[in-house]
Amino acid sequence: MVATLRDSLKTIEDYKSAHPHYTELLDIMADILILREEYLKNLKDSIFDVEENLIYQKMNGGLPLVDLTAKKYDLKRPKEYFNSLVCITGKRMPEVAKSILDVVNDPQFEWDKCICTSFNSRFEETKDKEAQTDHDDEESINLIDFLLEESLRPELEIIARKYGEIVEKSGWSEGYCPICGKEPKIGEIREDENGKRYLFCHQCGFKWNFNRIKCPFCGNDEQHSLAYFEVEGDERYRIDVCNKCWRYIKTVELPKSCEEPNMDVEDIATLHLDMIAYDEGYN
């Protein structure tokens, strides 16, 4: 069962009690979930188009349905949504929101370029370093990345909802999203499905089945070079790592008959796992 908005907001309140140091970010996430739902209700179609006659060819060729790096789209609506997201941030974290505005209002900040090239993880790292050099504010830069990603979410979620069933039947086996091509940050393992593993895309909200013993980033399936960390007190979560490419992904282990979690919320509630992975040398 898909997590409803009410369920997600309740989960956020629970996590605020368990992780009070994430309260501001969780409050922002709650506001975003409400705004996103309203935005989706009023969105009749997406700015992104899908060539339906090429869906199976794309899936077989490892190509996502929407390729932002190969085609130019009118990003006016996502930019308007982004501005609304910045306003939300301003209510919860006014100083950080001001820093975000300083970055995006800089003449050197190219909205379309940042949106499209954010799908290339290597560029994303370079962009972060450049931005941090210019503005020396890591917290605002991280939030910019988060808001840029969210700005496309409603438009791409419509595509995921419309074509999700077709994609699920295609046998997609890549470690990046079949809808938009974005790399996952978090996944889940479900005990009630014989331990099946799913990867989740924050960019479009799509979730797809993926080989449990395989790195989604480099394709490494040698068990001796794959490992995971568990944190005491957080047995529900773990960090899956690859000792070939030194990448990691967070994983939520779900017991039988567990309700569907909101993976956007889970990602924020597990930021401490990202810190652990970084400290261990993974990225």
pLDDT mean by block of 10 residues, the chain; 283 residues:
85 93 94 96 93 95 89 90 94 89 87 77 40 45 86 96 96 96 94 88 96 97 95 88 98 83 94 94 96
Residue 115: per-residue pLDDT: 84
Domains and their CATH numbers in the chain: 5-279 (3.90.1670.10)
Q: What is the pLDDT of residue 52?
A: 94
pLDDT at residue 128 in the model = 43
The 3-state secondary structure of the chain, one letter per residue: CCCCHHHHHHHHHHHHHHCHHHHHHHHHHHHHHHHHHHHHHCCCCCCCCCCHHHHHHHHHCCCCCCCCCCCCCCCHHHHHHHHHHHHHHHHHCHHHHHHHHHHHCCCCCCHHHHHHHCCCHHHHHHHHHHHHHHHCCHHHHHHHHHHHHHHHHHHHHHHHHHHHHHHHCCCCCCCCCCCCCCCCCEEEEEHHHCCEEEEECCCCCCEEEECCCCCCCCCCCCHHHEEEEECCCCCCEEEEEECCCCCEEEEEEECCCCCCCCHHHHHHHCHHHHHHHHHCCCC
Task: Output the pLDDT for position 143.
Answer: 85
pTM (2 decimals)? 0.90
pLDDT the model gives residue 194: 80
